[in-house]
Amino acid sequence: GLLCASEGVPLAYQVKQVKGVPMCGDGDEDEDCKDDKPPILAYTFSSGRGTKNNPTSQRYYDILMEGAKEWNLGGLQAYLEEEVEVVDR
C-alpha cells in the first residue's frame, strides 16, 4: 500500500517475509525470555543487493527509535544510538 509506494517498492526494494526473534522488554536477548515467546512473522524491505551496514535515513532512524521507546526496548535504543550511521538525503 502506501508504505510500499513511499519506500520505492518494487523499483528500489522488495518486500520480504522474515522471522522475528522475541526480545525481553529491556531489549536484551535473554534466553529465559525467548523461551516463553514463539517467533513472529514480520515484513521488511530488501534491496536485494546483499549489502550490510549501509547508512540509514534520518526518517527511518526516527521511526526505529520511536518504536524502541514505545515498546521499552532499551537495548535496541542503545544499539541504534551506538551502531547505526544516519545520513540525511
d(CA 22, CA 37): 6
- Specify the pTM: 0.56
Which residue blocks in 29-85 are alpha helix, DSSP H?
A: 31-35, 58-70, 74-83
Supply the pLDDT for residue 50.
66
pLDDT for position 66:
94
Which uninterrupted H or E stretch holds 2?
A: helix 2-6
Stretches where the chain sits below pLDDT 50 are none
What's the distance, Cα to Cα, between the start and end of the chain in Å? 23
Determine the pLDDT at residue 28.
Answer: 53
Residue 73, judged by CB atoms within 10 A of its CB (0-12, 13-18, 19+), counts as: buried
Set of cell numbers at residue 33: 525470555
